[in-house]
Structure 1
Amino acid sequence: MAIPNTHRGFTLLEMLVVLVIIGLIASLVGPRLFDRVDTSKVQVAETQVRMLRGALETFRLEVGRLPSESEGLAVLYTPPADERARARWRGPYIDEPVPLDPWGNPYQYSIPGRDGMPFALYSLGADGQRGGEGVNADIGFLPPN
């Protein structure tokens, strides 16, 4: 007795219908996932700014001054060139070299800050430019206007 060949595959039409359905689902879910990614990048930037602020405050307590604009944030990881400051430096104040913001741009540091803050420390947001709204807004302790 012969065994009938009952292997049946998917037709091209069935495959196309499945691909269209998957595409429709992805078009509905995709934008929501990208919004979550943008929101989480903003949260990471806020957290990193707070961490860098704490390191700056510790540097100021130990060295007796804030880093100059020319020293920048790098002095939180590597000793300053100034011998007097180097003698008081007890760093590194961060575990790794200064990270880039979540969009791959360096954090901005300047003196003074806004509203009596002794320094400005911020990310330029997703667009990498001053100002903006939403994910493009500047994040952190901003400079004077």
Structure 2
Amino acid sequence: MKTETKRISPRIAADSGFTLMELMIVIVILGILAGLVVPKIMDEPHKARVVKARLQMEQLSVGLESFRMDNGFYPTTEQGLEALVAKPNFGREAVNYRTGGYVARLPKDPWDTEYVYTAPGKHGAYDITSYGADSEAGGEDTDADINSWETK
């Protein structure tokens, strides 16, 4: 009796996983969907805004990590998050800048204020902050800052 064995071609075996870019795209899509759905189903508008801010920060973090992988560094504080939308024309040169940028557009936080970006950050390679409802540093309750390095 002859036994048959199935062989997987090396090409198929090599193509069977997900690339980092595919996974990052899925994470961004899920973040966008969650950002659209969560505020509609939550009872408390402030909590929905905080969730939306955290999701937007996560999307910006994915863009920053992609920028770093392509160029070997994070954008400086002076280059700001704008470096994710358009190639910086000052400071350290981003020689492998991706055509089309790293995010389609820069979101404002749920209180219609720009996110604050610093690199290097005090809490990591970079820090992203939303000043909350009062649009000022510090604050408590609904005015509390939302920071990329804090998870709640």
TM-score bracket for the superposition, by shorter chain length? 0.5 to 0.7
- The structural deviation recorded for 1:129 is 1.2
- Alignment partner, residue 135 of structure 1: 142
Moved more, 72-81 or 126-135: 126-135
Aligned residue for 2:58, secondary structure, equals: helix
Give the greater-gyration-radius structure (CA): 1
Residue 122 (structure 1) aligned to one of 118, 129, 145: 129
Aligned-partner Cα distance in 2 for 1:139–1:114: 15
- The structural deviation recorded for 1:82 is 4.6
- Alignment partner, residue 36 of structure 1: 44
- Alignment partner, residue 31 of structure 1: none
- Alignment partner, residue 67 of structure 2: 59
Aligned residue for 1:87, secondary structure, equals: coil
- In structure 1, stretches of 5+ residues that fail to align are 1-34
- In structure 2, stretches of 5+ residues that fail to align are 1-42
Aligned-partner Cα distance in 1 for 2:53–2:46: 11
Matched, 1:93 2:102: yes
Moved more, 85-94 or 39-48: 85-94
- Alignment partner, residue 48 of structure 1: 56
Amino acid at match of 1:133: E
Could you list the runs of 4 or more consecutive aligned residues of structure 1 that deviate by over 2 angstroms after TM superposition? 82-87, 111-115
The alignment covers a number of residue pairs equal to 107
- Alignment partner, residue 112 of structure 1: 120
Aligned-partner Cα distance in 1 for 2:136–2:92: 36
Aligned-partner Cα distance in 2 for 1:86–1:58: 12
Aligned residue for 1:88, secondary structure, equals: coil
What TM-score results when the alignment is normalised by the length of structure 1? Answer: 0.66
- Alignment partner, residue 79 of structure 2: 71
Aligned-partner Cα distance in 2 for 1:111–1:86: 15
Higher percent of residues as helix: 1
Aligned residue for 1:75, secondary structure, equals: helix
Q: CA RMSD in A?
A: 2.2
Aligned-partner Cα distance in 2 for 1:100–1:85: 26
- The structural deviation recorded for 1:94 is 0.6
Aligned residue for 1:121, secondary structure, equals: strand
